[in-house]
Structure 1
Amino acid sequence: MGSAKQIFRPGSLITRYESHRGRDWMDHPVRVVQDSGDRFAVLLSPGSAFRFHDHDHPLGPHPWRRHPDWRGPEVLQLYRMDTPYSVWMFFDDHRFRNWYINFETPALRRLDGFETDDHGLDLIIERDGTLVWKDVEDLDAMLRSGRLVAAEVLGILSAAHTVSDEIRRGERWWSGWDDWTPALIDRTL
């Protein structure tokens, strides 16, 4: 495990680990765009290869096991330490598509990257500001399977309520990224 004071240099490749209760389940590379210590931004690019650690994982095969790599669009992922979600900015051909709140454990830094654990629940913020909940039913399935316990589900729902209220009030800690696009990557790095 790395130190919380570890700062990653813009342009460097680091590893994003999906780790459940201290056991790695999947990882893949991301490129650092910015890191201020308490907040950092990474870019997930198409073709980022997934590596799975599920041969002896208590949860069994990772749900994305059939995918060898990220097949989606470019995604800027924004993390704020001690926050139970990350904010993703999706792009199609360098053009903004939508914001996406990914509820997960707060990022924990490692020497070569960071770890988190996806909780399934997501909130899409469409270009016009419409909020669309995604994968709400996953919380129940994760509770039944033992991946989450009741206290965790209540914490996730509390975080979801808080962030959706903040968005409705126009309070977005990530608003400074509104004009960023992957086309700026060379100037950003």
Structure 2
Amino acid sequence: MVRFQRGEVIERREMLHGDLWLTTPVTVVDDDGDRLAVRLDPGSAFTFPPHPFGAHPWAHQSHWGASIVLQLYRSGDLYSVWKLFEPDGAFRHWYLNFEAPMGRGPGHIDTGDYGLDLIVDASGRRQWKDVTDLHHQRVEGRITAQTALDVLAEAARVEAALDADDRWWAPWDDWSPEPAA
């Protein structure tokens, strides 16, 4: 199994139907072989290789915006957990991004966005985002009907875990980005 070293810059690759659709560099914060933490920094460049499906929805953007993001992945999950910060390092909110389970390769991780997201603010209040994207992605042929059902089942499990205050990412509650030099 591929494991990454703290401080290593790797590519986060978004795949669609087995083909590369988007890449961006991220920096490894921690990797225990099962759980991976990477940091996405403001201004990180996006690359959009030509894809048989067409342009990526973010193809009009050349880079990541102003927020600092700690992205947490756990092997086998249909989502990753993002901890977003303002450019000055102030915590903004948690963001659960439903996506294909992370795959690892030399110098990269692979996933694929399913469109459904859940925002959890500092008080624990939740807000579902892009709920209709699952339907649109299925209709457009980006995901199958079975994938949509799997994502909805995973979303129900995540909600039940949050209701029970069972968050595997809780050890990262106190993490914040180092101040800019």
Distance in 2 (alpha carbons) for counterparts of 1:16 and 1:155: 23
User: Cα RMSD (Å) of the superposition?
Assistant: 1.4
Distance in 1 (alpha carbons) for counterparts of 2:28 and 2:116: 25
Q: Determine the structure 2 residue equivalent to 1:73.
A: 67
Deviation at 1:97, TM superposition (A): 1.0
Which SS does the other structure have where 1:65 is aligned? coil
Deviation at 1:148, TM superposition (A): 1.0
Deviation at 1:21, TM superposition (A): 2.2
Distance in 2 (alpha carbons) for counterparts of 1:131 and 1:169: 14
Contact 2:42–2:66 under 8 Å retained in 1 = yes
Distance in 2 (alpha carbons) for counterparts of 1:185 and 1:158: 40
Residues 138-181 of structure 1 show CA distances to partners (whole Å, capped at 9, x for unaligned) of: 11111110111110000000000100110111000000000000
Give the residue type in structure 2 aligned to 1:47: G
Distance in 2 (alpha carbons) for counterparts of 1:39 and 1:143: 29
Which SS does the other structure have where 1:151 is aligned? helix
Q: Determine the structure 1 residue equivalent to 2:34.
A: 38
Q: Determine the structure 2 residue equivalent to 1:112.
A: 107
Give the residue type in structure 2 aligned to 1:166: A
Distance in 1 (alpha carbons) for counterparts of 2:180 and 2:109: 21
| Pairing partner for 1:141 from 136, 144, 147 | 136
Contact 1:98–1:125 under 8 Å retained in 2 = yes
Contact 2:71–2:80 under 8 Å retained in 1 = yes
Distance in 2 (alpha carbons) for counterparts of 1:35 and 1:111: 14
Q: Determine the structure 2 residue equivalent to 1:28.
A: 24
Between the aligned residues of both structures, percent identity stands at: 45
TM-score by length of 2: 0.96
Query: Where do 1:1-189 residues align within 5 Å?
Result: 5-53=1-49, 55=50, 57-92=51-86, 93-183=88-178
Which SS does the other structure have where 1:46 is aligned? coil
Distance in 1 (alpha carbons) for counterparts of 2:61 and 2:92: 23
Distance in 2 (alpha carbons) for counterparts of 1:22 and 1:149: 14
Distance in 2 (alpha carbons) for counterparts of 1:184 and 1:34: 18
Contact 1:106–1:116 under 8 Å retained in 2 = yes
Q: Which has the higher contact order (CA 8 A, sep 6+)?
A: 1
Which 4+ residue blocks in structure 1 deviate beyond 4 angstroms? none
Equivalent pairs, count: 180
Give the residue type in structure 1 aligned to 2:171: G
TM-score by length of 1: 0.92
Give the residue type in structure 2 aligned to 1:113: H
Distance in 2 (alpha carbons) for counterparts of 1:184 and 1:59: 40
Distance in 2 (alpha carbons) for counterparts of 1:136 and 1:166: 19
Contact 1:33–1:185 under 8 Å retained in 2 = no
Distance in 2 (alpha carbons) for counterparts of 1:145 and 1:21: 13
Q: Which runs of 5+ in 2 are unaligned?
A: none
Q: Which runs of 5+ in 1 are unaligned?
A: none
